[in-house]
Amino acid sequence: MARKPDPYLGFQFRIEIQGVFEGGFAEVSGMNATTQVEDFREGGVNEFAYKLPKETTFDNLVLKRGLADTRKLWEWHLDVVRGKIKRTTITVVLQDKQREELHRWSYKDAYPVKWTGPDIKADGNTVAFETLEFAHHGYA
């Protein structure tokens, strides 16, 4: 009996929600944290200004060219559209070609804020993928 090909083989990243594998993605961006600073000058010190840390902000996490087996991610996004926000920890896992885990990043209090559907063309032969964007409160 022939084995069904693995649809996630071409993806280097996978997304886990509360420890459950929910999909694969080819690209991840927005893994940025920026700490704002405020200059403070001390009287009589003219050589430099102290850099005092203020707040840290996090860019939205963007998962591109993805595929999911279930409708869980889509339904979660629809809940947000309807005003029912459910925040949870999500994890992005980097894996090698043998699907072995290389590294993982977890983000707390995440929820989907943007869903970009595929461009569908009648004459195209490409597989349809989406972009999914999450707001979050930083690293878990």
The upper half-sphere exposure of residue 108, i.e. CA atoms within 13 Å in the direction of its Cβ, equals 4
pLDDT higher than 80, residue 3: no
**34 falls within a domain:** yes
**2 falls within a domain:** no
Structure tokens at 116: 């970009």
For residue 23, give its domain range.
Answer: 13-135
Query: For the residues 57-62, what does the mean pLDDT come to?
Result: 97
Mean pLDDT over each residue of the chain, to the nearest integer: 87
**7 falls within a domain:** no
**61 falls within a domain:** yes
Number of domains in the chain: 1
One-letter identity of residue 128: A
**6 falls within a domain:** no
Least confident range of 34-48, 53-67, 120-134: 120-134
Task: Give the CA diameter of the chain.
Answer: 82
Q: Which of 107, 26, 104 is nearest to 63 (CA)?
A: 26
